[in-house]
Amino acid sequence: MPLVSTQDRDAVRVITYANAPFGTMTAAGAAEMFDAVAAAGMAPSVRVIVITGGLPGIFIRHYDVGELSEAADAIERGAPRAPPSPGPRPPGFHALTDAIAAVDKPVIAAINGLCMGGGFELSLACDLRIAGSSVAAIGLPETRIGIFPGGGGTQRLPRIVGEAKALEMILCGLTVTGLRAHEIGIVHEVVADPLARSLEIGAELSGRGAEGLAFAKRLIRSALDRPLAEGLADERKSFSTVMRTASAREGLRAGRTPVEIQKL
């Protein structure tokens, strides 16, 4: 049975992960979700991607501990690598999170429940995170079992909440509620229905110029990884490129008349 399903809501594609009964991420699930994200990224009709969980009260619980334990045992035994199977190797969890961060369309995590370990790391790769007000646990508890977040958590969380808070959460294996996650800046909004709100945001973003959003995402994603002068040069060059697109020219013409200002 597939672990991932997709549904288009106008220009928003909803990717739903459901690994019953526990909602853990697995190698097979990561490969399926990678394919779904890649397909959404290539589809011209899709302007925004929303990722959510398909089980009640679960976004993605964590990466499957059984698979991690087997990998640890194989490393300890010094087991030889299995011979490569015919065809390309299925993309793993790291490829999935990198794809989410790199796709040139906005990606929103609609966190509808437990969001732990690998599930939280996946949400950190998304551009926006909308959590349900009833979400009981979001966090990276890996140090409690002798490991540490290896799916991007040690790198992406400090960029979102700062070094001090990331150290506290990861070293102590802390989890927080959806409300607390909003207070410390992990999630952008806390609402009763995170999927409905994510679709609302997606509909709004899908009405904006795709090129402008894509360039903005790429520039912001790379801002902390290079010198300021290099980023500014890229921004200025990219701005000139976007100004020549049809969507920008149309938006600028429309912007000659007063528009409603959306406040935070």
In this structure, what DSSP letter does residue 158 have?
H
The dihedral built from the CA positions of residue 84, 86, 89 and 90, taken in this order, carries a sign that is negative
- Spatial separation of the C-alpha atoms in residues 94 and 125, rounded to whole Å: 10
- Spatial separation of the C-alpha atoms in residues 47 and 8, rounded to whole Å: 10
- How many CB atoms within 10 Å of residue 256? 7
- Spatial separation of the C-alpha atoms in residues 105 and 218, rounded to whole Å: 10
Local structure of 184: helix, strand or coil: coil
Per-residue confidence (pLDDT) for residue 230, from 0 to 100: 97
pLDDT tens-digit readout, 190-231: 999 999 999 999 999 999 999 999 999 999 999 999 999 999
Tell me which residues are annotated as active site.
121, 142
For residue 130, list its beta bridge partners.
110, 189
Per-residue confidence (pLDDT) for residue 81, from 0 to 100: 55
What's the token pair of residue 111? 């966190």
Among candidate residues 33, 155, 29, the one with its CA nearest the CA of residue 100? 33
For residue 6, list its beta bridge partners.
15
- How many CB atoms within 10 Å of residue 92? 13
Q: Which residues of the chain have pLDDT under 50?
A: none
Give the type of residue at 194: P
Give 245-262 as a DSSP string.
SHHHHHHHHHTTS--PPP
Per-residue confidence (pLDDT) for residue 69, from 0 to 100: 75
What pTM, to 2 d.p., does this model score? Answer: 0.91
pLDDT tens-digit readout, 77-90: 775 555 555 666 77
